[in-house]
Amino acid sequence: MALRHWRVWLAAAALAGWTSMAAAAPPSDGPPLDARGWIERVYEAVAFGNYQGTLVSTVGGAMSSSRIAHFCEGRQQFERVELLDGEARLVYRHNDLVHTVWPAQKVAVVEQRDASHTLPSLLRAQPDDALFERYELRAEGEGRVAGHDASVYVLQPRDTRRFAQRLWVERRSGLLLRTDVIGADGRVLESASFSDVTIGVRPQPDSVLKPMRKLAGYRVLRPDVGATDLAAEGWQLEPVEGFRQVSCVRRVVDTGDAQAHGLPVLQTVYSDGLTHVSVFIEPYREGRHRPGHTAIGATHTLMKRLDQWWVTVMGDVPMSTVMQFAEALTRRR
């Protein structure tokens, strides 16, 4: 999604499968927990539930909020996200079709959501046990978020390549109400939480579909995206331990920048089942690209030149992990 804090929320929603059924899970000295059952049940709650509310995100000391509405009719998903701070921006989604709209600029980006990042794809490609090899699930009692009773859990990493996450899961529906990303020193690096939410609302698909059809007068950008692989593009990257590649695409977007127009960007995404690291590769342009690194909340980014190429590595992981990815990338031809 275009909104950063909503992207954080969706990443945590994938994780919610670990925790949503945990409220009804047997005690630790009982039968083994069914991790796949957790994931599948809560995926259903997050992906096919009907709810709406205000999501507040705190990242790097800055706070922002969005109005979220999620509806389903059968297996049809409808979603509306409105940024409430700063420049007006809205995101509408019907299944995998996403429209991001900037009303003031009269610009809309229309694209397909990458299905390889969704939970069912991860389940098909990765054993459940691998997730528990990288994270330990711990119960932390009960809490309340936006007036709803919740069970609280922590996913504690078993190494230093990733961050811990604390989650508040609504006890009856399994909806993820809040998620904190926690640094190695125990600080909360960023947080996303509903300040108010209504669960079980009446579906209103037209509130999503009608705006998606009203693009007259807008400059509509449709990114040219095609699946590829690193080897075919002349690259090699040995994934950092515990991560695997989930997608690789070439994309060209008409940004309005004459210098960058038509230049493709290669993006490959790696996941450990909970969080993602993206590697972007594009032609180097003098005066436009400057090497460096940044940290905003849990998101760490490294930018560097590699011969005539410009490489950007970004992920909600420690900078040491980002650097490992950058160092593992080599040009083969």
pLDDT digits (tens, 9 = 90+) for 187-246: 999 999 999 999 999 999 999 999 999 999 999 999 888 999 999 999 999 989 999 999
Q: Quick one: 129 and 274 in the same domain?
A: no
Q: Quick one: 155 and 247 in the same domain?
A: no
Per-residue model confidence (pLDDT) at position 255: 52
Please identify, among 213, 238, 270, the residue that sits at the C-terminal boundary of a domain.
213
**CA–CA dist 322, 314 (Å, integer):** 7
In a domain, 257, yes or no: yes
Q: Quick one: 316 and 260 in the same domain?
A: yes
Q: Quick one: 208 and 283 in the same domain?
A: no
Range with the poorest average pLDDT among 7-21, 169-183, 227-241, 279-293: 7-21
Q: Is the pLDDT of residue 311 over 80?
A: yes
Please identify, among 213, 242, 262, the residue that sits at the C-terminal boundary of a domain.
213
Per-residue model confidence (pLDDT) at position 79: 94
Per-residue model confidence (pLDDT) at position 229: 93
In a domain, 58, yes or no: yes
3-class secondary-structure state, position 134? helix
Q: Terminal CA-to-CA distance of the chain, rounded, Å?
A: 34
Within 200-291, strands assigned E span 219-221, 224-227, 235-237, 244-252, 265-271, 276-283
309: its two tokens: 């190429």
Q: Is the pLDDT of residue 333 over 80?
A: no
In a domain, 231, yes or no: yes
Per-residue model confidence (pLDDT) at position 2: 32
Q: Quick one: 248 and 325 in the same domain?
A: yes
3-class secondary-structure state, position 15? helix
Please identify, among 149, 181, 213, the residue that sits at the C-terminal boundary of a domain.
213
Per-residue model confidence (pLDDT) at position 34: 52
Q: Is the pLDDT of residue 10 over 60?
A: no
Residue 18's CB: how many other CB atoms inside 10 A? 25
Mean pLDDT of 83-93: 95
In a domain, 218, yes or no: no
Q: Is the pLDDT of residue 65 over 50?
A: yes
Q: Quick one: 65 and 189 in the same domain?
A: yes
**CA–CA dist 236, 251 (Å, integer):** 19
Q: Quick one: 185 and 231 in the same domain?
A: no
Q: Quick one: 231 and 197 in the same domain?
A: no
162: its two tokens: 């990733």
Q: Quick one: 37 and 162 in the same domain?
A: yes
| H helical segments located in 193-297 | 206-213
User: 248-307 pLDDT, tens per residue?
Assistant: 999 886 555 545 556 789 999 999 888 889 999 999 998 889 999 999 999 999 999 999
3-class secondary-structure state, position 238? coil
3-state DSSP percent of the chain in helix, strand and coil, to 5:
20, 45, 35
In a domain, 130, yes or no: yes
Question: Domain span at residue 172?
Answer: 4-213
Per-residue model confidence (pLDDT) at position 19: 32
- Return the closest-CA partner of residue 20 out of 138, 174, 132, 149: 174
- Total number of domains constituting the chain: 2
